[in-house]
Amino acid sequence: MKALRFAAAVLALGGSASCYDFTLADRLCEDGGRCASPPTDGGDAGAPDAGTTDAGRDGGSGDAGGDAGADAGNPDCCLNNGACANAATKLASTPTTQPQGIAVDPTWLYWINDDGSFVRAQHDGGNAQTLGSIPIAGRSLVVDPNYLSMIGYDMSGNDGGLFTCLHDGGQLTPVMQTRFMFGPTELNGVLYWMGNNRLWSGLPDGGSLFQYPIGSGLNGVQAMASSPERVFLGQNAPLSQVTSVQADSGTATVLASNQAVADVAFDGSAVYWVTAVDGGSWGLYRILPDGGAFTPLAAGAGPASPQALAIDSSGVYWTFAKSGNAFGKLMTLPFDGGPATCLQSGLFAAYRLALDANTVYWTDRSAAGVYSVPKP
């Protein structure tokens, strides 16, 4: 396939890794005080084995979606001890580890923890099963019709790996082990990821891996997304840019500069990203995959620390982590051009998002839990 043509390096790794279980417990939501509508308990998740504006589509300068950082006049969120329109549900608590990446398919919700363990549960948190463990701190995972694909790395970045496993667990396949790992993103059964500041692609069953022939300019990657023709990279300092890489040739193009990217997503028509400047301003933007002028969708002043971004046909969703005395939030912006809305507040370190037809799911590292809330 096109994405696998260029093979500047080819690796073949084999072997397996052992699995182990862990237990989960409880936590309540707080917002400088308890929310009037606290999260409801999704059950014991710990038992092992148990239309957007025209300007946005043509790259023009559309109207920003409003100051999503403002707390005032937001009755739909549990702010100032007011009730959330929809109370969040605590699906799982992880008192001995921090949940990281999260993914969802039509049957199961999956997440990976920083102790390496990875878990699946029903969408309501029931029947939680610890499927196994990767041999390093878990950071992210994606799901396709057959495989879970997981990346882990230590805090130094010098020890990392990409591992795959069937949906029901079992033996792990180590696809790559190197430093400076990030990703993966998946499209049509092909995985893309960063390893040693290089872009790679391969199949989740292991075998030959292919390094894209890009010699430089790929450091600082903080986020990845993919389309049938391109891989999109969100890069933080020192480059601070959004980069598009052609999947068949490896040609890299900078789509937007001077962007301290926290996360990036693709909705089939446009690339979205959210920027984060510690203690300063933030922004949510959109650009066509071929480039051009980018459109600001929402913006605000600090303190704010955007973390995660996810998109589907219902709109754009993103999170803020707690920054200073300002608690984190879950935000949404509809595609019909309406204002940004706060869905939940009182979050601590809302790290990654996943969406299905009716629900938003997220992991909160500091709160050590997995949560959900109905879409508006």
pLDDT digit string, tens, across residues 113-129 = 999 999 999 999 999 99
**If you average pLDDT over every residue of the chain, what do you get?**
77
Grade residue 85 by pLDDT with cuts at 50, 70 and 90: low
Sheet (strand 241-246) strand order = 221-226, 230-235, 241-246, 252-257
Q: What is the C-alpha separation between 175 and 96, in angstroms, rounded?
A: 28
The model's pTM: 0.79
Determine the topology of domain 52-85+216-376 in CATH: Neuraminidase (2.120.10)
Sequence-distant (6+) residues with CB within 8 A of 97 are 22, 113, 114, 115, 117, 368
- Whether the per-residue pLDDT at 43 is higher than 50: the answer is no
Token pair of 68, please?
């999503």
Q: Which of 47-51, 88-92, 153-157, 207-211 has the lowest mean pLDDT?
A: 47-51
pLDDT digit string, tens, across residues 308-335 = 999 999 999 999 888 777 788 899 998 7
Token pair of 32, please?
């400088």
- Whether the per-residue pLDDT at 95 is higher than 90: the answer is no
Question: How far is the CA of 277 from the CAs of 102, 156, 282, 304, in angstroms?
Answer: 24, 22, 6, 8
- Whether the per-residue pLDDT at 71 is higher than 80: the answer is no
Sequence-distant (6+) residues with CB within 8 A of 116 are 133, 134, 135, 136, 137, 138, 152
Q: Which of 37-46, 51-60, 168-177, 245-254 has the lowest mean pLDDT?
A: 51-60
- Whether the per-residue pLDDT at 268 is higher than 50: the answer is yes
- Provide the pLDDT for residue 11: 35
- Provide the pLDDT for residue 180: 87
Sequence-distant (6+) residues with CB within 8 A of 357 are none
204: preceding bond cis by omega (within 30 degrees): no
- Provide the pLDDT for residue 242: 95
Q: Mean of the pLDDT values across residues 351-363?
A: 96
- Ordered alpha helix ranges (H), the chain: 54-57
Domains in the chain: boundaries: 1-10+17-26+40-50+92-211, 52-85+216-376
Fold match flag (1-10+17-26+40-50+92-211 vs 52-85+216-376): yes
Grade residue 84 by pLDDT with cuts at 50, 70 and 90: low
Sequence-distant (6+) residues with CB within 8 A of 93 are 24, 25, 26, 27, 45, 46, 368, 369, 370
CATH of the domain spanning 1-10+17-26+40-50+92-211, picked from 3.40.462.10, 3.30.930.10, 2.130.10.10, 2.120.10.30: 2.120.10.30
Q: What is the C-alpha separation between 72 and 367, in angstroms, rounded?
A: 25
The DSSP output letter for 237 is T
- Provide the pLDDT for residue 59: 35
Token pair of 28, please?
């309540």
E-strand ranges in 288-327 read 295-300, 305-312, 315-321
- Provide the pLDDT for residue 157: 66
Compare 110 and 31 and report the one with higher pLDDT. 110
SS3 3: helix
- Provide the pLDDT for residue 154: 86
- Whether the per-residue pLDDT at 297 is higher than 70: the answer is yes
The DSSP output letter for 30 is B
